[in-house]
Amino acid sequence: MKNLLTPILLGLTILSLTACKHPGKEAETITAAAPENTDEIFKDVYVDSYGEKIEVTINNTKNTATIHLNGKTFDLKKSNALPEYTASNEEYQYSDIKGNITFLKKNVDMVLFHLKQAKKESGPAKMASY
């Protein structure tokens, strides 16, 4: 028993001394390798006159739109053939044309959300001076 106790204590001592070393450069290279999110993303929340709320997230880098309405999520792809910002999939279409926000179900022409925003002025009105 005494013969076995000495090598075990010696092994534990060596193990505890080597376990306390700092990892050094390995930890730094792992954290530096994390990719950064460079997507151009815009998020807006609109509320219509009935109090219904729609959350629109537009990713301009990937040309996608994600719509959250009534607890459901809809993923749409931007359409370059249609005017201003329009995105759609097989069933749904979202559009933001001159401040008119519309989300509809295409196959039955049912409008699920519509909001006409007031025109935004680009700055203070200029008056002519004499």
Does 109 map to a domain? yes
pLDDT, tens digit only, all 130 positions of the chain:
557 767 777 776 776 666 655 555 555 555 555 566 677 888 999 998 889 999 999 998 888 999 999 999 999 998 887 778 899 999 999 999 888 999 999 888 899 999 998 765 444 544 555 4
**Number of independent structural domains in the chain:** 1
At residue 18, the pLDDT reads: 66
Does 104 map to a domain? yes
Give me the CATH number covering residue 102.
2.40.128
Does 49 map to a domain? yes
With vertex at residue 55, the alpha carbon angle to CA 108 and CA 91, rounded to the nearest 5 degrees, is 25
Does 32 map to a domain? no
At residue 84, the pLDDT reads: 81
Does 67 map to a domain? yes
120 and 106 Cβ atoms separated by less than 8 Å: no
Domain that holds residue 88: 41-116
At residue 113, the pLDDT reads: 92
